[in-house]
Structure 1
Amino acid sequence: MDGVPESWSFYTGQVSHEQYTKQLDGFTASRYDPRAWADLFARAGARYAVLAARHHDGVALWDSAHGDLNVVRRTPAERDLIAGYADALRERGLRVGLYYSHSDWNHPDYASTRHPAPAPAPAPDEDPPNPLAHARPGEEDPAAWARFLAYRDGQVGELVDRFRPDLLWFDGEWERTEEQWGLHALAARILAGHPETVLNARMLSHGDYATPEQGVPLQAPDGPWELCLTVNDSWGFQHRDHNHKSVRRLVRYFTETIGAGGNLLLDVGPREDGTITAEQAERLTGLGAWIGRHAEAVYVTVAGLPPGHHYGPSALSADRRALYLFCFDPPRETVSVRGLRNRVRRVSVLGTGAELGHRVTGGLHEVPGVTWLDAPAAGDADEYATVLAVELDGELDLYRGTGRS
């Protein structure tokens, strides 16, 4: 609310702890409408959403029996904010995700142990390890750390038992080891009653998928993954941050992500009254409208062609018999695909259905020629990204060699 980053601003000393905590007095959630949120997320084309149930500052969005730092007891909102969210998402057929940080820089027992890896000595102009996160050498307190883990485990147990999330999105794991966090026992607790719960990689070896942030990785992580991206430059609401990504740029991020086999988790920061800004809502609905026109290339597809076969990202149908080429600029004359051994049965523009001609030139022995697809007419090109659907005569078969020697 004061235009400072959530949690990090008091951790780094940007503002005092007192000033940061005083923001609780202005948190009303007076216009919070989880059904409106769910409607917006559905229009954005989402299949799941993740709500930050507790960040590193320790403020919980539900009435927890473990500690009293929550919006029910310490803010004018005076109510649980998670149950309605979970119910509204499920009414719209969306999966329910909850974010929870292992770390808690407000908890009196948190800074009672340290990561055992030897830390390099701070440079002369650097501060020592933050006392909100780490015990000073020789002042570790195992009993206090055990109390903290009981608090953390108790809160996670409440989230699991009360709200039955489909996904738990953990954070803050970098400050301790897997053994210190007690992640084996925590994962067992979560999965005991809800074995289908998905856990992100910040549960370390118990995680199901990777979570790079703020930039499409040049090399996709092994296995399932998700890009976490903000609509502007901030994770939470900041009234001075008007640097919103355009719908066109979000479409580009989105197609580059799904083209490499990932999901996009797009972050918006609601105001203290629970409303999402018009600028951010416009971006979500704009992206959702593009997805709606091209759903065939988005849902139930897998990573597409490796780099070098097409100038842009692409995706494959689950049976690998349809190739979807994303073209950010309106195609001119032709679009090429290299190394395609398959015969092309049909090419069309997704969203309009316009059929396009195609031909192959060149090729020698085992080296296939270049497949050329005619560019669509100007009226069939999409405002943000045109998608060409290429039907193949079988599963995708690519040539990856160096040419005839």
Structure 2
Amino acid sequence: MPMQPWFSDAKLGIFIHYGIYAVDGVPESWSFYSGKVPHEQYMKQLDGFTASNYDPKAWAEVFAKAGAKYAVLTARHHDGVALWDTGQGDLNVVKHTPAARDLIAGYAEALREQGLKVGLYYSHSDWNHPDYASVVHPDPPNDDVGTNRYVTPKDGVEDPEAWARFLSYRNAQVGELVSRYRPDLLWFDGEWERSEDQWKMRELSEEILAGNPDTVLNARMLSYGDYATPEQGVPLRAPDGPWELCLTVNDSWGYQHQDDNQKSVGKLVRYFAETIGMGGNLLLDVGPQEDGTIPAAQVERLEGLGGWIDKHRGAVYGTVAGLPAGHHYGPSTLSADRRTLYLVCFDTPRETIGLRGLRTPVKRVSVVGTGTELPHQVIGGLGEVPGVTWIDAPVSADVDAYATVLAVELDGELDLYRGAGRD
């Protein structure tokens, strides 16, 4: 199946890590896996998870205001606690928390009312399932996968029947998500703990696409994924094919009381511009409190980023990756017809902005958001080596607080010189 075209033009998605881990503000699932928090104490958070102020319509309004085109909610993390009334076991917030209701249906409905695509996160692994630690990874990627009691069987003795039961459970839960909520995107995780063959990824992919052939799958479906998902670390080279950068607004995926290290709006604009300039999407993560409210500081960041995107939407939506490094000192995007370049300037431009290696003549340069036209001229050049296009810096009234964007309208499709100059 070809990749769904909406994904690559979405540019911004919102990741939501929401679950019982927000009660004590501990790392989602990993805190008991690593022994930082006793398992019993971690699971006691079920008693305090109320979702008392959960308002998915308010979430969706904030996401739309941020300029996002999709969102991804943690339907079930590695801790095995489902946010819906699953028919597979009873470890879910409907049966075992004061929230006592399905938290996915309203989310999906609210997103669709705002015109956003619906994404659901699901972990292949489940560190609470009695049948999960029943087989051994044939080539463990790290020591934990070979030794952790939540992953590997005691004394390494495998139980293939238990593993078959686990896969039936996983497949049935994924089937519930597909049939009940018809997500546009399924964001899988936990794949490193088993091989593709052990996971039976082909069969799972076939079942998902039989239920909804338009479902987008991330690369943690291994050979059956549609796009790459680097997280936290910004790639210096764009992954092959479609991709998204998963990034937290502060330092944590889920809500952690002590983490107030929120990235500034300016930093988020930089991450966003650099990501779309390399042809990717930014999947920006927030961690709601246990009552369902997104912290005000995170809402403020989303709305600040959304203000910048709205002002510069022509340079964002309907564009592809821009210039390779070296042609312009900053990110850039290119219109789909390859006739308009958008140059992002993070610092206040002084005197001139240089554009190197441009063979296509420039018709007009203007400041995105204000429309002010800027003079430009080409200086130098010899034979096939083009001169440098120098653009006059905008006046202070046209400089954006976070990043100024210039629209360079070309007289034809973009044509770049990539050589070493005349010998």
Matched, 1:368 2:368: no
Paired AA for residue 20 in structure 1 = Y
CA gap 1:127/1:142 in 2 versus in 1, 3 angstroms: closer
Instruction: Give 2:350's aligned residue.
Output: 332
Is this contact kept in 1: 2:118–2:185, CA < 8 A? yes
Deviating beyond 4 angstroms after TM superposition, the runs of 4 or more aligned structure 1 residues are none
CA gap 1:119/1:289 in 2 versus in 1, 3 angstroms: closer
CA gap 1:223/1:127 in 2 versus in 1, 3 angstroms: closer
Within a 5 Å distance, the mapping from 1:188-203 to structure 2 comes to 188-203=206-221
Within a 5 Å distance, the mapping from 1:152-167 to structure 2 comes to 152-167=170-185
Matched, 1:350 2:371: no
Cα distance in 1, alignment partners of residues 366 and 394 from structure 2:
9
**Cα shift at 1:68:** 0.6
Instruction: Give 1:260's aligned residue.
Output: 278
Between the two proteins, what is the percent identity of the paired residues? 75
Instruction: Give 2:3's aligned residue.
Output: none
1:46-101, Cα deviation, whole Å (9 max, x unpaired) = 00000000000000000000011100001000000000000000001000000000
TM-score, normalised to structure 2, is 0.93
Instruction: Give 1:385's aligned residue.
Output: 403
CA gap 1:49/1:119 in 2 versus in 1, 3 angstroms: closer
Is this contact kept in 2: 1:216–1:256, CA < 8 A? no
Q: Secondary structure at the match of 1:112?
A: coil
**Cα shift at 1:277:** 0.7
**Cα shift at 1:3:** 2.7
Matched, 1:13 2:35: yes
Matched, 1:25 2:47: yes
Cα distance in 2, alignment partners of residues 218 and 33 from structure 1:
38
Cα distance in 2, alignment partners of residues 99 and 3 from structure 1:
20
Paired AA for residue 89 in structure 1 = L
Within a 5 Å distance, the mapping from 1:95-114 to structure 2 comes to 95-114=117-136
CA gap 1:55/1:403 in 2 versus in 1, 3 angstroms: same
Cα distance in 1, alignment partners of residues 188 and 278 from structure 2:
23
Paired AA for residue 70 in structure 1 = N
Instruction: Give 1:394's aligned residue.
Output: 412
1:237-296, Cα deviation, whole Å (9 max, x unpaired) = 001000000000000000000000000000000000000010000000000000000000
CA gap 1:127/1:288 in 2 versus in 1, 3 angstroms: closer
Instruction: Give 2:7's aligned residue.
Output: none
Instruction: Give 2:68's aligned residue.
Output: 46
**Cα shift at 1:216:** 1.7
* RMSD value, Cα: 1.2
Is this contact kept in 1: 2:145–2:152, CA < 8 A? no
**2:165 is matched with which residue: 147, 161, 167?**
147
Cα distance in 1, alignment partners of residues 211 and 24 from structure 2:
40
Q: Secondary structure at the match of 2:171?
A: helix
Matched, 1:226 2:244: yes
**1:64 is matched with which residue: 86, 90, 93?**
86
Cα distance in 1, alignment partners of residues 349 and 63 from structure 2:
31
**Cα shift at 1:127:** 11
1:9-43, Cα deviation, whole Å (9 max, x unpaired) = 00000010000001111100010001000000000
Gaps of 5+ in 2: 1-22
Q: Secondary structure at the match of 2:276?
A: helix
1:105-141, Cα deviation, whole Å (9 max, x unpaired) = 0000000001101678x6xxx9961010112454110
Q: Secondary structure at the match of 1:356?
A: coil
Instruction: Give 1:282's aligned residue.
Output: 300
Instruction: Give 2:115's aligned residue.
Output: 93
Q: Secondary structure at the match of 1:104?
A: coil
Paired AA for residue 44 in structure 2 = K
CA gap 1:252/1:340 in 2 versus in 1, 3 angstroms: same
Is this contact kept in 1: 2:245–2:275, CA < 8 A? yes
Instruction: Give 1:297's aligned residue.
Output: 315
Instruction: Give 2:330's aligned residue.
Output: 312
**Cα shift at 1:228:** 0.2
- Alignment coverage as a number of residue pairs: 401
Paired AA for residue 141 in structure 1 = D
Cα distance in 2, alignment partners of residues 313 and 263 from structure 1:
14
**Cα shift at 1:193:** 2.5
Is this contact kept in 2: 1:83–1:163, CA < 8 A? yes
**1:248 is matched with which residue: 266, 291, 296?**
266
TM-score, normalised to structure 1, is 0.97
Cα distance in 2, alignment partners of residues 26 and 280 from structure 1:
23
Paired AA for residue 307 in structure 1 = A
Instruction: Give 1:75's aligned residue.
Output: 97
CA gap 1:127/1:269 in 2 versus in 1, 3 angstroms: closer
